[in-house]
């Protein structure tokens, strides 16, 4: 549920072995640095790699993708995000090519991811890792503090400031200020105030948003959990994301010898960066087309045309 002003709108063990990944023909070496979730200012900028120079996805990859700002362009409101059928087809091809080792790692609830990517139902971590679902499994949502106790105060804040939007994720809540960026200090102060007496919850700043979520969960922990399980275990991890909320994921992938792909430009623990979601989607589309050709070549008994 998203609240706009006074209105409501419907809406860690590590795997062993060599886990280097994603060859780039340019010198895009991994950045050896770590970050706290939501940080990033102390990191060097990721090496910018032209998509035409970034090698295609290889079959031993464990591929992790953020959703908003990475797979899909950001929208004024979360429910207005658009996903083209071509992207769903590409993800379906890559999911098969990787034997299921493709997961969405998002701040959205898993149910929303399923809605946007239907009929595809991928492994996913939602609400920054507070929700978890591996391939063929039911959604796991560990017990979380009751976020509803904070809602009256946050709803009153949004009613006082029409440029704010409140997104209730059941086990987390996000306060968006994209339509009123000048309200960022007020939002941060209000979140700090409501969390003063709360236990088991923490704030997570992002792009024009501050979220309140269960403490101790993040995208890095979700990726680490996937990497301990089939079909991800023993593969080479790649994680693409755009926001400071993705830094924990970049840090874990770096520790595992994999590659973080920053979508956009800023200081980050990611190894390489691309210009935006369109460039990231182009790389996925090209990888899927090459995967389809390789499968056809194998089926026909000929030498594969691409080494992914």
What's the pLDDT score for residue 93? Answer: 97
pLDDT score recorded for residue 15: 37
pLDDT band at 18 (very low <50, low <70, confident <90, very high): very low
- pLDDT tens string 94-115: 999 999 999 999 999 999 999 9
pLDDT value at residue 13: 35
Q: Roughly how many angstroms between the first and final C-alpha of the chain, as a whole number?
A: 41
Summarize pLDDT for 224-261 with one digit per residue, the tens. 999 999 999 999 999 999 999 999 999 999 999 999 99
d(CA 158, CA 176) in angstroms, rounded, equals 10
Q: Is the pLDDT of residue 221 over 90?
A: yes
In this predicted structure, the answer to whether residue 127 has a pLDDT above a threshold of 70 is yes
Phi and psi at residue 27, to the nearest 5°: -80, 75
Q: Can you name the residues that pair with 32 across neighbouring β-strands?
A: none
How much is the pLDDT for 40? 40
- Could you tell me the CA-to-CA distances from 139 to 110, 111, 127, 221 in Å, in that order? 8, 9, 12, 16
The gap from C-alpha 192 to its chain's centroid, in whole angstroms, comes to 25
Q: Which of 2-11, 95-104, 273-282 has the lowest mean pLDDT?
A: 2-11
Enumerate the active-site residues. Answer: 66
Q: Which of 72-76, 147-151, 222-226, 298-302 has the highest mean pLDDT?
A: 222-226
pLDDT tens-digit map of 48-84:
666 556 789 999 999 999 999 999 999 988 999 999 9
Average pLDDT, integer, range 140-168 = 94
Q: Of 81-85, 133-137, 139-143, 290-294, which has the strongest mean pLDDT? A: 81-85
Q: Which of 165, 246, 256 is nearest to 205 (CA)?
A: 246
pTM of the predicted structure, to 2 decimals:
0.82
**Cα-Cα-Cα-Cα dihedral sign, residues 214, 280, 113, 152:** positive
Look at residue 192 in the predicted model and tell me its pLDDT.
97
CB 223 within 8 A of CB 105: yes
More confident residue, 271 or 301: 271
Whether residue 11 has pLDDT greater than 90: no
pLDDT at 23 over 90: no
Q: Which domains does the chain possess?
A: 51-142+217-299 (3.40.50.1000), 147-214 (3.30.70.1020)
pLDDT at 53: 63
Q: How confident is the model at residue 26 (pLDDT cuts 50, 70, 90)?
A: very low
Return d(Cα 17, Cα 15) in angstroms, integer.
7
Q: Mean pLDDT for the chain?
A: 84
**Is 274's pLDDT higher than 50?**
yes
* pLDDT(34) > 50: no
Average pLDDT, integer, range 136-151? 91
Least confident of 24-33, 174-183, 289-298: 24-33
């Amino acid at each position: 549920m998203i609240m706009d002003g006074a209105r409501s709108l419907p809406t860690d063990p590590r795997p062993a072995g060599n886990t280097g990944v994603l060859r780039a023909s340019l010198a895009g070496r991994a950045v050896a640095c770590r970050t706290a979730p939501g940080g990033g200012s102390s990191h060097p900028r990721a090496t910018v790699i032209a998509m035409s120079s970034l090698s295609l996805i290889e079959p031993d990859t464990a591929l992790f993708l953020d959703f908003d700002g990475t797979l899909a362009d950001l929208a004024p409101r979360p429910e207005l995000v658009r996903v083209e059928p071509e992207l769903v087809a590409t993800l379906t091809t890559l999911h098969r090519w990787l034997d299921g080792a493709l997961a969405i790692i998002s701040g959205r609830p898993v149910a929303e991811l399923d809605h946007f990517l239907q009929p595809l139902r991928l492994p996913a971590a939602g609400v920054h890792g507070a929700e978890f679902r591996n391939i063929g499994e039911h959604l796991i949502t560990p017990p979380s503090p009751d976020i509803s106790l904070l809602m009256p105060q946050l709803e009153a804040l949004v009613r006082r400031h029409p440029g704010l939007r409140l997104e209730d994720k059941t086990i987390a809540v996000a306060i968006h200020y994209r339509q009123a960026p000048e309200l960022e200090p007020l939002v941060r102060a209000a979140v700090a105030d409501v969390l003063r007496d709360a236990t088991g919850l923490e704030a997570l700043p992002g792009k024009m948003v501050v979220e309140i979520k269960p403490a101790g969960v993040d995208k890095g922990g979700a990726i680490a959990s996937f990497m301990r399980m089939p079909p991800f275990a023993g593969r080479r991890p790649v994680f693409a994301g755009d926001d400071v909320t993705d830094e924990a994921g970049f840090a874990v992938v770096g520790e595992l010898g994999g590659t973080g792909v920053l979508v956009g430009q800023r200081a980050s623990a990611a190894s390489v960066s691309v210009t935006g979601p369109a460039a990231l989607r182009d790389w996925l589309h090209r990888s899927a087309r090459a995967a389809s050709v390789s499968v056809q070549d194998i089926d026909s008994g000929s030498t594969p045309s691409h080494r992914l």
